[in-house]
Structure 1
Amino acid sequence: MVLKGRLDIRDWLFILKPTEMTADGGLSSKDRVLELAETAPSQEWWLARQRRMTPGDRIWIYFAAPVKEVAAVAEVEDEPFEVTGDVQYPWRFRASLDRDATRALHRSPVPLAALTNQHPQGVPRVRDSDLALFLKHADL
């Protein structure tokens, strides 16, 4: 689903708390996200602040405490848009979970201890040194 010929793909680290709910009302555990990759890969994701995401960018999903590992990846489908009525997460975007890469990451997640960014917060850009590790674990 990567846009052909696009060389400026950006990679984002999306921090997800396993105890939070997904857009469909299920918990955000890595098992649940893998299930979504298999059954309903296109999901609406939420942001506290606007990010300059564009279609084709990737979000690497970091499951925060207690798991502390990157175990899923999705491709951004649309630019973020603002919603009203949600003070905590006023921005949304659609992204499609990559089934095969998410399966690979589920089997072989990247633990926090292996990342150069030892204190991920918000939705930062992925560091180049971490991206190579993510791609390897995702079989991409």
Structure 2
Amino acid sequence: MDWLFIVKPTDTGLDDGSSAGSSAKDRMLALAETAPRREWCLSRWRRMASGDRLWIYFASPVREIAAVAEIEDEPYEVTGSPRQPWRFTATLNAAATRRLYLDPVPLHALSNRHPQGVTRVRDGDLGLLLDHAGL
């Protein structure tokens, strides 16, 4: 299954602040190349499974999908984080993220132009994402 994961400009935790001044898209590419295995947070449980793909949508400054990761496990609940009590591990695909970084998929090209939270990628949009990522 394929999921759309929204990264907003106010999101933190991508790099512990070590890349001050760079965009979330730049930081994500750097992480894909240097530390691709990440823990991701969710506000609600999703039916994710090992092998699912996570397409990363950057909400600002330009609304586009510019990174992709492979999910390693299903979400598990953690205590102490009431706003995002679910976690899962996913590994950024460096080659595909590099391609998407250079040739992102603009939000207006997708059928779901107003994604909310973490949502499934619509079947009609998957081919476009795969093509841009070289997968």
- Given the two structures, how large is their TM-score scaled by the length of structure 2? 0.92
Aligned ranges 1:50-61 → 2 under 5 Å: 50-61=45-56
Query: Does the residue aligned with 1:92 lie in a helix, a strand or coil?
Result: strand
CA RMSD of aligned residues (A): 1.3
User: What residue number does 1:131 align with?
Assistant: 126
CA distance in 1, matches of 2:113, 2:8: 16
1:83 to 74, 78, 82: 78
> Does residue 1:25 correspond to 2:16, yes or no?
yes
In structure 1, C-alpha distance between the alignment counterparts of 2:14 and 2:108, rounded to whole Å: 29
SS class of match (1:45): strand
Once the 2 structures are TM-superposed, how far is the Cα of residue 25 of structure 1 from its aligned partner? 1.6
- 1:37-116 equivalences in 2 (<5 Å): 37-116=32-111
Q: Which runs of 4+ in 1 moved over 2 A?
A: none
Does structure 2 retain, via aligned residues, the 8 Å contact 1:18–1:30? no
CA distance in 2, matches of 1:67, 1:22: 20
Aligned residue pairs: how many? 131
How much has 1:19 moved relative to structure 2?
3.0
1:76-133 deviations in whole A, cap 9, x for unaligned? 0111110111111100000000000000000000001111001001111000111111
List alignment gaps of at least 5 residues for structure 1: 1-9
**What is the CA–CA distance in structure 1 between the aligned matches of 2:14 and 2:45, rounded to whole Å?**
18
Secondary structure of residue in 2 paired with 1:50: coil
Gaps of 5+ in 2: none
Q: What is the aligned-residue identity percentage? A: 65
Cα distance between partner residues in 1 of 2:130 and 2:40 = 22
1:34 to 29, 36, 39: 29
TM-score w.r.t. the length of structure 1 is 0.89
